[in-house]
Amino acid sequence: MADSLSELIALYGGTFDPVHYGHIKSVIAMAKAAQLKQVIVLPNNVPPHRPQPDASSEQRKTMVQLAVAGNPLFTVDCRELERDTPSWTVATLETFRREYGPEQPLAFIIGQDSLLTLHKWYQHEKILSLCHLLVCRRPGYPLTLPEPGRQQWLEDNLVTEAHLLHQSPCGSIFLADTPEYAISATEIRTRLANNSPCDDLLPDSVLDYIRREHLYQS
């Protein structure tokens, strides 16, 4: 059992094609709400049978590193990129569970849109036995789950007090009232392909890298 508020470790997975302020600012707000000291960002490997990201694994990793550089909240972990297999979140969580042991409070951060589709994730029913779920707001998505039984599942596992997340290894869902950022990687790729400005959507360091690498051009 954790006895210190510093012990909850949060993981944040995504394709990050490219990483943007909707990711970074939401997670910083979540860190404040959930009293997180450490967030491990996990760029995922997109399996060959799925539509491939525009940027390579190496480029997506570099963009994430640039976006979080200098912020001690974040570290970047490339275990999903280094695997050839699909990035099943449950499989990744199991590797962290093995490393940190059964008592370590672990959390996985997602956006509201991902909460709505979580029931489609591979072995999703195992997720809460491996970690807590921390959900950031994202505009345009409802906060109630329409699929049968899912709203009850959400309400059964919801906690409203962040300190409870630090006192058990897994099993709870925390919906934080984080600011809403109407930003998506899709929108950024479209704007870049159309030569439209997107300076307010992602860090300058990432945008400079995108331009240097000639990414997302039509």
Binding residues for ligand ATP, rule: CB under 6 A, are 14-17, 22-23, 26, 110-111, 113-114, 136, 138, 181, 183-186
What is the closest distance, in whole angstroms, from the C-beta atom of residue 14 to ligand ATP in the complex?
Answer: 3
Nearer to ligand ATP, 5 or 213 (CB): 213
Nearer to ligand ATP, 6 or 196 (CB): 196
Nearer to ligand ATP, 9 or 201 (CB): 201
Cβ atoms 20, 202 nearer than 8 A: yes
Nearer to ligand ATP, 19 or 165 (CB): 19
Nearer to ligand ATP, 118 or 165 (CB): 118
| CA quadruple 141, 142, 148, 149: dihedral sign | positive
Long-range own/partner contacts, residues 124-131 (CB < 8 A, 24 or more apart): 124/90, 126/90, 127/89, 127/90, 127/93, 128/157, 128/170, 128/171, 128/172, 128/173, 129/170, 129/171, 130/90, 130/93, 130/94, 130/97, 130/106, 130/170, 131/11, 131/93, 131/96, 131/106, 131/107, 131/170
What is the closest distance, in whole angstroms, from the C-beta atom of residue 31 to ligand ATP in the complex?
Answer: 14
What is the closest distance, in whole angstroms, from the C-beta atom of residue 103 to ligand ATP in the complex?
Answer: 26
Question: By C-alpha distance, which of 10, 20, 12, 11 is closest to 63?
Answer: 20
Question: By C-alpha distance, which of 163, 55, 160, 27 is closest to 105?
Answer: 163
